[in-house]
């Protein structure tokens, strides 16, 4: 079945860029997402990319998609302490309604 993998932890200093990586196995993935989860809160949709795109930029967020390698990344520019959270990668395949999630990457931003 489909699988999505992420590294578990990333620590950066405030002001640096953060890059969170994700790999997936479903070659029919049509939409790929990044969600953010702060402590005690739900999953907040940050951004998404269609599989026919290579890159999407949205303010401080840049999503890169390498469809050949099935690799997705989220770059956060000028990382702030408020960006500390768990970031989930998710994909949705053709004809499916469900999202398949990765385990989440905990981003820790040090002042």
To the nearest whole angstrom, how small is the minimum distance from the Cβ of residue 56 to other proteins?
12
Q: What is the DSSP string of 56-93?
A: EEETTEEEEEETTTTEEEEEESS--GGG-EEEEEEEEE
Residue 50 touching other proteins (CB under 8 A): yes
Segment contacting other proteins by CB under 8 A, of 14-22, 57-65, 68-76, 84-92? 84-92
Applying CB under 8 A, among 23, 31, 62, 73 the residue interacting with other proteins is 31
- The rounded Cα 44 to chain-centroid distance in angstroms is 12
Helix (H) or strand (E) holding 11: strand 9-13
Q: What is the DSSP letter of 97?
A: -
Q: Which is nearer to other proteins, 19 or 98 (CB)?
A: 98
Residues at the site binding other proteins, with contacts judged by CB under 8 A = 4, 31, 33, 35, 40-45, 48, 50, 88, 90, 92, 96-104
């Amino acid at each position: 079945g489909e699988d999505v993998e992420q590294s578990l932890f990333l620590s950066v200093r405030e002001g640096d860029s953060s890059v969170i990586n994700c790999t997936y196995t479903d070659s029919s993935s049509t939409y790929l997402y990044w969600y953010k989860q702060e402590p005690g809160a739900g999953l907040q949709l940050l951004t998404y990319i269609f599989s026919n795109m290579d890159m999407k930029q949205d303010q401080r967020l840049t999503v890169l998609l390498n469809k050949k390698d099935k690799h997705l990344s989220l770059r956060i520019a000028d990382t702030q302490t408020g960006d500390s959270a768990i970031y989930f990668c998710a994909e949705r395949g053709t004809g499916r309604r469900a999202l398949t999630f990765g385990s989440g990457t905990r981003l820790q931003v040090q002042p």
